[in-house]
Every structure is written in C-alpha cells, then in structure tokens.
Structure 1
Amino acid sequence: MHELPINDVLPQLKDNLSRNNSAVLIAEPGAGKTTRVPLALLDEPWLEGKKIMMLEPRRLAARSAAHFMASQLGERVGETVGYRVRMDSKVGKTTRIEVVTEGILTRMLQNDQALSDIGILIFDEFHERNIHGDLGLALALESQGVLREDLRILVMSATMDAASVASLLHDAPIIHCVGRQFHVDTVYVPNPAHVSMEKAMSSVIREALTSHEGNLLAFLPGVAEIRKVKRELEMMTLPDEMVIRTLYGQLTLSEQSDAIRMEADGRRKIVLATSIAETSLTMEGVRIVVDSGLMRTQVVSSRSGMSHLTTVKVSKASADQRRGRAGRTESGTCYRLWSPLEQDSLQIANTPEIMSSDLSSLALEIAVWGIQDPKELRWIDTPSELAFGQAVDLLKRLGAVDQRGRITSHGRQMAHVGMHPRMAHMILKAIPLQCGKLACRLAALLQERDIFKGNRAFNNSDISTRMEQLILWENQGMPNVDDPSLDVAAMHRIIQETRQIGTNLDLKLQSSAQTDWCGILLSFAYPDRIGQGRGDGRFLLASGRGVEMSMVQPLSRSEYIVAAAVDDRGIEGRLLLAASLSESSLYRYQQELIQEKDMILWDHELQGVKARRRWSLGALMLQEKAYPKPPEEEVAYALLEGIREEGLQLLPWNKVSTQLRQRLLFMHFITPSQWPDVSDEALLATMQDWLLPSIYGMKNRNDLQRLQLTSIIEQYLLTWDQRRELDTKAPTHMTVPSGSRISIDYSDSDQPRVAVKLQEMFGLLETPRIGGGRIPLTLHLLSPAQRPVQVTSDLASFWQGAYFEVKKDLKGRYPKHYWPDKPLEAIPTRRTRPQQ
C-alpha cells in the first residue's frame, strides 16, 4: 500500500477507539480515510472477531470502496471485504468488512437492534446528511446506549461541524487529518443572463478541454440538463478522440463504473454528472472540473405535505467538494459558472435532508423501533414537529400506525417491504387482489424517470399509457433497440427493480392485470391525492389541494383521478402523472376512507335549516341526499346557528318586546350586577339558555315569526321579583299633568326620554325621575304641531327662564292656544285651551 495522509493518524485513531466507544474523524479530501480506516481496524483486540460495517451515502461509492479494499488485500469482493446495496450484494461467510448504503443499515438494526455480530459502525461522508444516515446514527446511538455499550461508532467526514457530532456522541474525541490535495486553480466564468446554463456549460467545457490536459468532470443539477449539454457537445468541434460519459443515480452500477474509470483505449473523456460525483469517488485522470453551481433537491411543502424537486444553488461546502475532484491525483483547474461575489453569498453547507424532505419513511422506522416521539432519540437536527406530524398522519391513513402512533402489524409488513410507505402499502394491498406484479411494476415505474423522455407523441399525464408501453415492450422480449421516443435503459431498470421487489417479498408475481387497475392501486398509495374533476382538466384532491393539467388530454375528462406526481408550486399544482379512477372502484376499494355524515345546517338562501346526508373522502364531497327526518334537537341547534349568522333581526321583534329589551338595558346600565345583559352580543351568546326551549319543532324564518319574545324574555331571563321591580323602576309609560299616558322611550339607555306637548306639562315643577328616583327623564317638549321646541332634564329651570322665550315664539305661531304667563299655576291641557 502506498503512503496516504490518513496513515499518520491511524495510531491515534486506534488508541482513541481502544479507550472510547465513539470517535469523530475529520479527514480532508484525498486523505484515504474511506479505504484505509476499515482495513487498519481489522485486527484490533476490541473487535473480537466481529464485523466492521461502513456506511456510504451512495451505491456507487459503496461498491467502489469495497472493490478497492479487496484489491488491496489481493482478494475478490465477497471474501474479507463485501458490500450490500439495493438490488446488489456481494458478501460471504468470511466477510468481515461490509460496505453498505444507509437504508441497508436501518433494516439490519430493525432485525437485530443489538447488532450482535457488528463490532464497529463507520458512518462515512457524514457531511452529506442523508436522511437515512441521520436515522441510522440515531438508532445506533440508542442501541449503543441501551443494548451494546461495547459497540463502537466512528463518524468520518471531509467537511463537517465536528463539535456538534462529537457532542452527540457523548463528547467523543475528534481526530483531524490533512488531505493529499493537489493545487487547483479556480476560474470564475459568470453565466451571461441571456445564455442558457446548458449552452454556457458546453462553451466552457470546450474551452477548458483545449486549454488543459486530462479528463473533465462537469457538475449539472439533473438528468435533463445532462442530456441537453451532451447534445450541445455532440454538435461542437471537440479535441480529437473525446468520449462523453454520464453519471447519475438512475444508471446501472455497471454504467456508473464505466463513467469513473479510465477509458480502456486511453482516450480523454468528459463526465457529465450530478452531485453523485461530489464525494467518496476517485475519478481517474480528472484534472478539470466545470461546475454549474446548481443541484437538485427535494423539498416538502408545509402547506400540502407534498414533495417536489427544485433546483437550488450549491453551498460553499459542496462547491469546495466539487472543486477538489480536480486535484485528487495531480494539479488541476476548476471553472465556476458564477462570480466571486456570488461565491461569498452562498450558504455554508447544504440543508440536511431531515429538515426539508418527506419524513414518512423515517416516521415508520421510528414506530417499528418502538417509539412515537422522535425527541426520544438523539439527533444532530431534530425533525420538525410539523413535517413529522404530516408523516404520522399519512401513516395513520395507510394503517401503518394506530391513532396513538404505535406500529400495527400491517405497518411492520410495510417496513419489511423496504420501500416508501406509500409503495409498500400499495403492494401489500394488491397481493390479495392478484395484482402483485402490476403493483411492483407500478412502484418501480414511479421511482424512475419518465420512460417517454418527454416525447410529444406521448405528451400526457396518464401513467396507464406508460404501463401499457412497458408491458408491450416486455412481451416483445425487451428488445435493446435505440428508440428515440423511449428510455430503454430506464425500462430495463424498471423490470429489474420489479423482479427484485418480488424476490425481496418472496412473492410469486402474478401475471399482469389490466392497466385500468393502475388507478385502483394508486389510490392505495395516495389516498390523499384522489382527485375529483372540476372541469377543464382541473381537480380537487382529497387533501384539499387543487391541481390542473397543463394541456387537454383524455384524462382531463375523468370524473376521478389519482395524482402520483404533482409539481406543487403555484396556486394550482401542476399534474405530472395520474391515473383515472372510476366511481364504482372508488366506492369498492376505498370504502373505509369514505365518511358518511349528516349535515344539518343553516342555509342563508333558503333562510332555513337544510338537512342533508353527505358522503365524503377528505375534502371531496362524493354524494349528497336529502335527510328526511333529522333529530329535532340538531335542527334547533342549527336554527340557533342561523340566528348567529343572520343576527337577532331574524326574530319577530315588535314594539312591546323591543321596549322590554330597552327597559332591561336601562336597568342593566344603572345596576349591572343585578340585571341581565340583553345586548345583541349577550343574547346571541346565551340563546341556548333563553331561546332554545321555545324553537323545538321550528326549522326556518317563517316558523320563528310565531315566537312571543316578550313572554320568552320574561320567563327565561327575569325572576318574578324582577318583573315587579322593572314595572316600578322602568315603567313603560308616564302619566303627565294633563292626564295623558305617554310612552317612555328607552332606546338610549343612559337618557330615557318622553316626548310630550308643552301645554300638557303646565303645573309640574320638577322633572319626573325613574330607576328608583336616580335618573331624570329627558323631556322633549313639543309644539302644538308635535315639533320639539325644547329638550331638558331640568324642568324647574326651564319654567324660570327658557319658557318665556319659547312662549313668545309659540304665541306668535299659535295665537289661539293657551300660553299663560305663570305656567306653574296654569291648567295643563291636551286641547287648544283648557276647559273651564
């Protein structure tokens, strides 16, 4: 083995692990940590013949590390060193170092919480903060703390906040190692606003190839951009004998391996890659990096719980990792399609997946582990309560956990499937329906990119058309033809994945059912995304989210659909993939989700209570019928709700009942503790007490007109003593000196008033008082024509002063009327002159 920087710190690492059960290793790129550390620990006494398990975030890195370590031992993979990744594994009875991807560790922990045959867990490239890595570490720490104190945990990274990880590992020691990084020149080439990123990348790639030697690695956000740049390069004049390779997650492991190794014939090559090439891999001969500065990440919408892929700028840490790819074996150059100013504005590190991704798989694993609250585990970043709550709600709908969040037997089966909970639930529901193979294929298809390559001839959102094409192609013997309209490589992967899922489940795959079962199966996976047509290709989902199709197509006319993929941005989400669902299938296969509810409520237009029986699925109203004999009490309560909505004017207030309310308001004003509040707000708030008993049997505004409000208020709001006191202290009328009985106006609670002709008040010295003598009445003294000539609450002062001015005016206008000089000695009269 040639010397690597990691060799200098291996003695320190061994010493720390002999005395502690945890450690953190920060080793710069090129140090050799991934392939040297596991081999160096093989003979440590504390290992006691147990295995070393190392976790890699990516399948390609896991396989590459295992192959390299095996070659260092002069062995084949599967002997001392082996690997386990999804759909591929090479381990044997003598295997002592297993390199696995993080989902594999989770399964092993669930099957054996003590990890009884593992001596040390190594989390490599932990800075990537893969959600499975965070979960795996949390469960491993729980196992170490409760069951396996002797289990060693080593966290390794090139760039990471070592202090926070060391703290999580109970103040584990931190070992630092410098890397073997060759000098890399950085060239900033900002992308002009009017030039597409793909054209700018192609131009910079061509310039870099002519200016520098060696292979070139270009970082692009996704497969679509890789294809566009590849087409641009193929139309350019490039240096002689250039090979263009692509590298992204959906490729087969064989295709990925071809991209990272030297070409057999020695030709130079361009590798167009996603973020998969950032870490762990030593790509032979790469001396040039061209970085778009973009990456694709999955984000969950907090409003809908749906996830979507979005393109974002890379962090400084990712940009440095990408730059370092050019200096692994010799000096190189990195071209960045942004400016130094933009570099300064980049965030320091990528947002951990656990803070932005769908947490339903994590929630299921935690439930299988035996806990419901993620706070019971140790995390670097604790999952958000909102995102975790949305995940648990989904698991409840799928029957994976009960209402308290505890795992069910069905949930354990779902976890055993080892797929996203939606897909696992769909497959398990499909098996007894003899649709197991179709469900496995549907799950595999949904995890792949679109097999139609965005071809306009197949430009629709219907997943059934893709399934039909896939089945036809398989029945034809899976010909490896170069079909520009179909992604044959993706179709091969779908078939391979389908078979692997069936093998994992020990499932004898039934023959394919008709593709019209796609909607039924999808409804099992996405019950919250069953959509009801609203016309013009627009649908309302059971979750309450609105979605629409970008173009008119046969699926647009469906009464019901199930949305498998949605671009959730915008007011209306854009429907990407869906399948039609018949109404009969909806009722047959989703009966347990359909709720029957009696709706007894006030209808403003009808001005009455409407009683309907409604069948709904989430936000979807499936059916509604008249409810002929609703319970009388529920109708009465709905009627009260209608009065709250419309206001008290819905009740039959007449002069007598209105004055009664005003008199009570007056008494409440002067002695609030002794009299009820009959304001609008108070009456509306207490209708259950005073009005409800009288409206049984009523159901609309017309019925309410039969109410006798005066009797109701007196009966339910006043005692017998209060009624007597009310007549005394707040009388309805006042008898004036002329003998007339005048109604008292209580509309202004703090100033009750009486409107009376001035002539009828002759002889009365003092202002009449009510409220037990506390409140003087406000007198509106009227002319013979019933027009106010004076308003006063001090009658004595009026007679002494203002009367004489008023008298002059009235005597001139009404000469036939009686206007004495001494009003207190005059005879009050209702007529023109008093009768002798």
Structure 2
Amino acid sequence: MPDLPVVAALPELLAALAAGPRAVLEAPPGAGKTTVVPLALLAAAWRPAAQKILVLEPRQLAARAAAARLAELLGEPVGATVGYRVRLDSRVSAATRIEVITEGILIRMLQDDPALEDVACVVFDEFHERSLNADLGLALALDAQAVLRPELRLLLMSATLEAQRLGQWLPAPVVSSAGFLHPIETHYLSPRQAAGLPHKPSERLAEAAPAQVRQALADHAGDVLVFLPGVADLQRVEKKLGTLGPDVDLHLLHGELPLEVQNAALRPASVGRRKVILATSIAETSLTIEGVRVVVDGGFARVPRFVPRTGFTTLETVPVARAAADQRRGRAGRLASGTCYRLWTEAEHHQLPAHRPPEIQTADLSALALELALWGAQEAAALRWLDAPPPAALAQARELLVRLGALERQEELADSSELAGSGASAQLPPPTPLPSSPPTLSKPTPHGRALARLGLPPRLGHLVARGHALGHGHAAAALAALLAERDLLRWATPADPRPLPPDLRLRLEALASGRPPLPGLALHHATLQRVRDVARHLRGRLGLKGEATAPLLTEAPLGLLTALAYPDRLAQREAPDRLRLVTGQRVSLRTEDVDAQAPFFAVAYLAGTAAAPRATLAAPLGRAELEEAFADQIATTDEVRFDPATGRVAGRRLRRLGALVLAETNLTQPEPALVVAALLGYLQQAGLGKLNWTDGARQLQQRLQFVHQLVGGEAWPAFDETTLLAELPAWLGPHLASLRSLEQVQRLDLSEPLLARLPGGWAQRQELNRLAPAALEVPSGSLIQLDYQDAAAPVLAVKLQELFGLTETPTVGGGRVPLLLHLLSPGGRPAQVTRDLRSFWEKGYFEVRKDLKGRYPKHPWPDKPMEHIPTKLTKKRLESS
C-alpha cells in the first residue's frame, strides 16, 4: 500500500463498512482515495471472493488511468484483478475483482441486474462532481439496496462535497482523511493586472495564460498543468505559446483525443525534459500527472445548460466554482511542493460560487426519465435524491419521450389495446403546458426499451431505431454518431473566425470519404476515428453486416433522419437567413450554406444566445418527406386577421404543422365568429380610442363609472378603460357580428353596448338617470350637460346669472354628491369654482361682480343675487320680457 494520507483513515472506513452498508469518505485532493481505497476493500472480510468492487469514475480518461495505477500496484496487467469498462472499450476477464467503470455503465448494470448479484461494493469516486448519471446511479443503487440487496455496500468518496450533509441524508458514517501531502503556494492576479485584460473569457485566457506559462517555466522547476475551459481555448493558447524551448514538450489533454495522445500527456517527461499540459476540466480529478509542480488555472469551465422553454442544451463558459478551483490547485501538490497561479484576483475568488449546481438541476432529463420508467418508478419521488429532479424539466422530458414513442401516454394505460405501435411514432404534436406538480412516469414501450439498450440519448436512439426500421440503418448509425460527438470539421486555417458551414451533409460526406468536403475545410482526424468507432458499434447493435459505403450514407434522406431525432426543431425558411421552427421560435441560418432552394429543414444544434439563436447543424427536408412522416400532425385551420393597411378583415385557410405553414388559400366568406375575434383582437391591441366615442357615448361611460364608484357591487360593474378593454369581447363582441371593416366598427353607436353591461335591464337604466343624470335643469330653465370625467367630482358648468336665487349647491348620486360648480362669466369663461353656492353668493360673488361688471355691463349684476330672477338674458331683454 503506497504511503498516502488516506491510509491512516482506512481502519475507520473498513470498520464503518463492516458495521453498516453505507459510508462517506471525505478526502481532499492528493489523499490517495482513488488509488488506495479499492485495494483495501478487496481484502475486506465482508466481500465474498467471487464478488466485485465497482469503482465509478466520471470520465473515461480517469477510469482508464485509475485502473492502470491499481493494476500497477498489484504488479499485474490491466484486465487481470483490476480492469475497466467504458463506452466502446473494456479490459476485464473472469479474474477481475476491481472493475473501474464510468457512471453510465453502472446504470446499465443495474437495469440488467437490479440486485447486482456479483457485486459486493459500489464506490462512487469524485461524487462531488454531481453528474446526472452519478445522482441517478446512486438513487437506483439505494433502491436496490433497500429492496433486494441489504448487504450491498455503497461508498461515496468526495474531495469537496459537504460530507456531513451527505452523511445525514444517506444516513451513513462520515470518515475524514488528511489533506495534501505537500504545501502549495497560491498566487492571484493583482487588480491592476486583471483590469488590463479583456473581459471576454476566450480573449482573456488567450492573453493571460501564455504569459503565465512562460513565467512559470522560468521561475519554477517541474511540469506545468494549465486548466482552460474548452478545446478551442486549448488550441488558441497552444498557437500563442508556439515553441517553448528545446527541452519543453507541449501536450493537449481533453476527452476527444485518441487514447494514445491522452496517455502521452499523462506519462512522465523524459529525463532532462519538461512538459506543459493544456487541459480541460478532465484533469481536475482522479488523475495524478507525474512531474506536475505548477498549475495555471484559467478560472473558467464549459458547462451544459438545458433551457426547458426552448428544449435546447448549450455549452456556456462560466467562472469555476471554489470547490473545483481547489481540486485544480491540488494537482500541483500531489508529489512535491508546488505552485498554483490563478488568473483572477483574490477578491474575485471570494465571489465565486462554493459549488457548481448539480447537473440534475440544469440538464436535459429525457435519459433520466426513460431510465426511471425502465426501473419501474411510477413517480420520481419513489426514489431517494440528494437533489430531486426539477418537476417542470422532468415533465418536459417525459413529454418528449411520449412523442418519440418511448413511453406510453398516461391516458393510454387504462386500455392496453391502444398501446400497439406506440413505439413507431416519430411525430411531434403541438407543445403542451408543463404541469407544476411532480410528473408521474408511465410505462416504457418496447421501443423505449430498445432505445435504452443503444446507450445513446433518447433522441439519437430514436433516430437509430426508426432510421433502421425505414431501411436506412447505416446512415442512421452514422448520423447518430456524428451528432453524439464533437464536430469533425474545422477550418484549415485555425484562426479563421467564420462559423463552420451548418450543412450536415458535409459531415456525412467527410465521414464516408475521409477527406474534407470543401476547399478550406479540414478534418479533426481523432474525432473522425471516434465517430467511425461509434457508428460501427451502433451497426453491430442493429445487426447490420458490412461497412457503411459512401452511397449508403450520402444517398440517405438525411433531413428526414435528422427530423426523427429533433421533431420539435423542424423549420421553414422565412427569409434567406432566417428559419421559423415548428414551435414558433425563429433562428438564423444562412440557407445558401445548406440548400438555397429547400423550403424546410431539420435543425440539430443551435448556438448563440436565447434572444438570437443560430442553427449550427441542419439538413434540408423535402416537402413530400415532411408531409408523409408527420401526416398525423398536419391540421387544416381557418385563420382570420385584421389588416391595418386595408382596414378590413381578411381570411385564409392554412395547412399547418405546428407553426409551419404548408399551404394557404384565401377565404371569401370566413366564419363570422372568426371575423369577430379578428376585429376584437385588433381593437384590444390598438386600444379603445379606435371606437366611435361620441360626446354622448363618452359621457355615458363616465356616468356609469361614477355610479360604480358611488355604489359598487356586482350590480354596478366598473367602466374604466382598463376594464372595458379587458372585457371587450363580452360587451362589444355581440355587436360586431355583421361587420368586416374598421370603418363599419367606427360607425357603431356605443351607447347600447355600454348599457347592455348593466345586469338590471330597463329599471337599472332608469336608476342610472336618477343617480347620474346626463343633464340638469338650472333655475333659468336651461338644461345643462353634466361632466363626469372626474368621477369623484362631477361638474356643472353654467353662467352664474342662471343660478340667481338658488342658495343650495345642486347634487347627484341621490343627493350624496354635491356638484362642482364652474360659474361662468357671460362670455362663457370660468369666473369661480365652488361646491358651496351659498357662501359664494355671500362673499365671492361681490369680488367677481367687481371684476366683471365693467366688462359685461349689459348683463345683470344685482346687489342681492339670492333674490334676483335667474336669467340667461341681458338686462334689456330681461326687462322687455
């Protein structure tokens, strides 16, 4: 057993697992948990000799490296006592007792044998990474342990997770190990250095990382490990570093490189030479790269983000979490004292999130939903989750699986006769609202079981299964392999900033020929080989014989096959650079880069932002193919809309697939209800100002609102503009039945529609006249219109001479609301505003008379206005009358 810190914790750990079926090991980076613990478990008394120890690793590179190190410690080759199994590769034998596997392999093992009869213990290494497969695998393993194998041991090993929380949740004892073997000196950027760098992560790293690498080589001994977020960042920094010196070798390390290239980066440097390794987060955990004494951490990571609203998963570059930064820092102190350079300031470090959110909270859950259905979990809540899958995302995933024919619809479960053929559907009905409560997962179909056995995401599994059924198995396997891996095309000039052509057919041509399909393009040969390996594996699963010849690939209906995987991303060209998806969302695509004549497309991948998405992989789709494959979703509907340009309602009959318009004809006599709806829709958008608001109609509306505020209750509804606009269909709709144009609408008298909102009929209209009369007869005999614009203060505007002799202020509202009197001069201009007429006659009148008598000498200005005859006449006409 190597002399590593975790050795001191082994007695306590082994005792915990001897006493109970679960344990948590908290061991910081460099403690040796991946190397030492599996060997210690191998000798545990509770392990039957024939049973295995399964060790889960989050990445294939880590699984192979861990198996190699364990085998080396035993002095055996890989595949003897220690072996590994990863996707498309395994080295195990009948003698294997420690099997290092990736997390997805465990899920398949559990689905095939829920009791794991030949397994003594499952070790979840690096559980703090909280991958979706690790969370799902743990949930299934805990269920198997509770129901079928209470003696099955489960050990969770983590470097940075909150171990106490995990121990309380399981529940399980928590065993802690010592930390780093060697001290690590940590350096941050100064605020001044950080301020001088570009803000965009790719530009920031391309400038800062090469300079820091050169400084590290000059100031320190040993090899340098550089963490960068993505492959493109690795390539940019590699180009800027150029030649580092005659004794320095430059390596790239990421998951898409051939195995021999990855191994070359992990091997110790030759005597007298040094290494610089540019790595993605693949090197954060479970790997000891001998010779590394310096870590340069760029401070960013590429993480997938699933957007339920659009159904798209995109990769985002985000600041690294503090826990991951600690993991990276630990790489420098594995074998000797080291140095870590962090390309951010110390103040920025304290603002980083403590942990990344678990993948289960941000990922596409379609594969998880299918696995739960295969497990027989009728509800997600039937299993135990450290963090439960979000209900909305799980509901959306289940709906996708139903559309793909992988799950039965819930309503179909009552009648098994309706289940036949459910696995053959490739169609996509219109999107349905997502439930807010946790979804119930229905039974998997035979098609769903077949998808799971393919080991692909459900979309791509559906593509392979249905494409094979349609007679295009070779092309379906090749296309699924292309979509499952990184793009195999690149520009021949690495600095070329243009996006790659989005045409999927170019990729299939390159796969078939092994050559760039267009001048200026080049191939990622490692990716090309991996795609071919995956396609060969899928052909084997389908039972297809022979190699995939070029005609089998390039002559297949690529657009149709793509649509099988992405039926919710069918698209129609709206403009030379824009598509409309079946969901209604618009995305950009230079269609001349795909097919300038094609009216329809199947979109596989998108990039850009949520506000401006861009199709990065797409294939043209013929109309006949689309109509045949999605015939049961094509509907004929009548659409009537108001055309503001003509001011009239126009109708058309549409054949549609979701938001895609396949054909349209004009309607000369659209349904009256649709015409009314179109007029109402326009009016609700344009506002009530488009209606015929005569003085009488406007006053009526204001009178009704006055009574509503005065009396209230259901009998007197609100008549303010917000309410009228919201309820426009109810009160105006019945009066639009025979109208077709805005001109006709604007000739409509609004009085009757407004009064029809009153529930009390004729009697209530009479009550309206009593409470809010339209006009008031004043002492002179004139009938004066009242102004109810301010419902709190209705106005009577009248010449003051017409109120002579009136001592009390007139009222409305059954005597409850005094009118606001606008007392006008003989010329019709306001002379005084009052609610107290008596007070005005006694005081204010004489001031007004003094100001106006000289201006209007022909009109009466009596000394005793409360005793004078009210009149609208001049003195002369009054005397003659």
Q: Same fold (TM over 0.5)?
A: yes
- Measured in 1, the distance between the counterparts of 2:707 and 2:225 equals 88
For 2:506, the equivalent position in structure 1 comes to 465
How much does 1:105 deviate? 0.6
1:696 aligns with 2:732: no
- Pairwise CA distance, 1:102: 0.3
- Alpha-carbon distance, 1:89 to partner: 1.8
Change (3 A) 1:601 1:473: same
Deviates more, 1:8-17 or 1:613-622: 613-622
Letter in 1 for 2:559: G
The alpha-carbon distance between structure 1 residues 634 and 461, as it changes in their structure 2 partners (threshold 3 A), is: closer
What SS does structure 1 have at the residue aligned with 2:502? coil
1:576: which partner in 2? 616
Q: 1:585 to 1:658 in 2, by over 3 A?
A: same
Q: Does 1:426 align with 2:463?
A: yes
Distance 1:10 1:572, change over 3 A: same
Alignment partner, residue 303 of structure 2: 298
Q: Is the 8 A contact 1:561 1:578 kept in 2?
A: yes
**Equivalences for residues 251-270 of structure 1 within 5 A:** 251-262=257-268, 270=276
Match status 1:365 vs 2:371: yes
Q: In structure 2, what is the equivalent of residue 19 of structure 1? A: 19
Partner of 2:435: none
Cα-to-partner distance string for 1:412-445 (whole Å, 9 max, x where unaligned): 3332221122222222231222222222212222
Question: Aligned partners of 1:50 and 1:827: how far apart in 2?
Answer: 115
* TM-score for the superposition, normalised by structure 1: 0.82
Residue 141 of structure 1 deviates from its aligned partner by: 1.6
The answer for unaligned runs of 5 or more in structure 2 is 198-202, 411-439
**Deviating more after overlay: 247-256 vs 715-724:** 715-724
Partner of 1:181: 181
Task: Classify 1:106/1:753 alpha carbon distance in 2 versus 1 (closer, same or farther; 3 Å).
Answer: same
Alignment of 1:755-774 (within 5 A): 755=798, 758=801
CA offset at residue 372 of structure 1? Answer: 6.7
Partner of 1:719: 761
> 1:55·1:99 contact (CA, 8 Å) conserved in 2?
yes
Letter aligned with residue 753 of structure 1: L
Superposed CA offset, 1:594-643 (max 9, x none): 56554445555554544444455555556554445444344445544444
2:442 maps to a residue whose letter is R
1:565 partnered with 2:601: no
User: Within 1, Cα distance between the matches of 2:219 and 2:862?
Assistant: 121
8 Å Cα contact 1:208-1:288 kept in structure 2: no
Tell me the distance in 2 between the aligned counterparts of 1:796 and 1:6.
99
Task: State the SS of the aligned residue for 1:308.
Answer: strand
Is the alpha carbon distance of 1:43 and 1:551 closer, same or farther for their aligned partners in structure 2, counting shifts above 3 Å? same
Range with bigger deviation, 330-339 or 147-156 = 330-339
Matched, 1:338 2:343: yes
- Quote the residue 1:438 is aligned against: 475
Alignment of 1:601-620 (within 5 A): 601-615=641-655
Q: Which has the larger radius of gyration?
A: 1
- The aligned residue for residue 479 of structure 1 is none
Matched, 1:742 2:783: yes
Structure 1 counterpart of 2:507, one-letter code: R
User: Gapped runs of 5+ residues in structure 1?
Assistant: 477-482
SS in 2 for 1:46: coil
User: Which whole-Å CA distance do the structure 1 matches of 2:220 and 2:702 have between them?
Assistant: 95
Deviates more, 1:242-251 or 1:386-395: 386-395
- Report the Cα offset of residue 287 of structure 1: 4.4
Give the equivalent residue in structure 1 for 2:143.
142
Structure 1 match to 2:567: 527
Q: Give the conservation status (yes or no) of the 8 Å contact 1:275–1:295.
A: no
- Residue matched to 1:91: 92
Please give the secondary structure, in 1, of the residue aligned with 2:491.
Answer: coil
Q: Tell whether 2:48 aligns with 1:38.
A: no
Is the counterpart of residue 451 in structure 1 residue 488 in structure 2?
Answer: yes
Q: More deviation in 820-829 or 650-659? A: 820-829
Distance in 1 (CA, whole Å) between partners of 2:480 and 2:625 is 20
* Pairwise CA distance, 1:316: 4.7
CA–CA distance in structure 2, aligned partners of residues 211 and 382 of structure 1: 48
Structure 2 Cα separation of the partners of residues 202 and 231 of structure 1: 9
User: Following the alignment from structure 1 to structure 2, what is the Cα–Cα distance between the partners of residues 221 and 801?
Assistant: 85
| Distance (Å, rounded) in 1 between the aligned partners of 2:858 and 2:31 | 122
Query: What letter corresponds to residue 832 of structure 1 in structure 2?
Result: R
- CA distance, structure 1, for counterparts of residue 616 and residue 601 of structure 2: 12
Superposition pairs of residues 311-326 of structure 1, within 5 angstroms: 311-326=317-332
Deviation at 1:159, TM superposition (A): 3.9
Is 1:104 aligned with 2:105? yes
Give me the whole-angstrom Cα distance separating, in 2, the residues matched to 1:663 and 1:66. Answer: 86
Is 1:55–1:102's contact at 8 Å kept on the other side of the alignment? yes
Letter in 2 for 1:126: F
Query: In structure 2, do the counterparts of structure 1 residues 181 and 340 end up closer, same or farther at CA, with 3 Å as the change threshold?
Result: farther
> Could you report, residue by residue, the CA deviation over 1:773-803 in whole angstroms, capped at 9, with x for unpaired residues?
6677778788887778888888888888988
Given that residues 189 and 346 in structure 2 are in contact (C-alpha distance below 8 angstroms), is that contact kept between their aligned partners in structure 1?
no
Aligned 8 A contact 2:594 2:619 in 1: no
Q: Match of 1:238?
A: 246
Aligned equivalents of 1:207, 1:788: Cα separation in 2: 86
Partners in 2 of 1:822 and 1:369 — Cα distance?
Answer: 100
- Which string of whole-angstrom CA distances, capped at 9 and with x for unpartnered residues, describes residues 292-319 of structure 1? 4345322316464533334445445444
Question: How many angstroms apart in 1 are the aligned matches of 2:799 and 2:262?
Answer: 103
2:537 is aligned with 1:537: no
SS at match of 1:166: helix
Q: Distance in 2 between matches of 1:775 and 1:28?
A: 80
RMSD of equivalent CA atoms: 4.7
**Counterparts of 2:600 and 2:175, CA distance in 1:** 59
Secondary structure of 1:18's counterpart equals helix
What's the offset of the Cα at 1:249?
A: 0.8
Counterpart Cα distance in 2 of 1:789 and 1:271: 91
- 1:81–1:95 Cα contact (<8 Å) kept: yes
Q: Which amino acid aligns with 1:721?
A: A
Assess if the C-alpha contact under 8 Å between 2:787 and 2:796 holds in 1. Answer: yes
Q: Determine the C-alpha separation between the residues in 2 that align with 1:785 and 1:215.
A: 99
Alpha-carbon offset, residue 745 of structure 1: 3.2
**Counterpart of 2:174 in structure 1: which amino acid?**
I
Residues 761, 431 of structure 1: alpha-carbon distance in 2 compared, 3 angstrom cutoff: same
Structure 2 length as normaliser, TM-score?
Answer: 0.78
**Residues 744 and 752 in structure 1, CA contact (< 8 A), matched pair in contact too:** no
Once residues 781 and 343 of structure 1 are traced to their aligned partners in structure 2, the CA distance between those partners, rounded to angstroms, is 71
Q: Structure 2 vs 1, CA of residues 422 and 727 (structure 1 numbering), >3 Å: closer, same or farther?
A: closer
Query: Where does residue 480 of structure 1 map in the other structure?
Result: none
Q: Counterpart amino acid of 2:763?
A: D
Q: Who is 1:589 aligned against?
A: 629
Does the 8 A contact of 2:227 with 2:280 survive in 1?
A: yes
Partners of 2:745 and 2:553 in 1: CA distance = 60
Q: 1:283 aligns with which of 289, 300, 311?
A: 289
Q: Pick which of 513-522 and 745-754 moved more.
A: 745-754
Q: Hey, what does 2:434 align to over in structure 1?
A: none
Determine what percentage of the aligned residue pairs are the same residue: 41
The corresponding residue for 1:498 is 535
Q: Partner residue of 2:557?
A: 517
- Contact 2:182–2:338 (CA<8 Å) still a contact in 1? no
> Which has the higher mean CA deviation after the structures are superposed, 309-318 or 656-665?
656-665
> How many residue pairs are counted as aligned between the two chains?
823
Change (3 A) 1:357 1:804: closer
**For 1:32 and 1:779, how far apart are their aligned partners in 2?**
92
Q: Quote how far apart the aligned CAs of 1:101 are.
A: 0.6
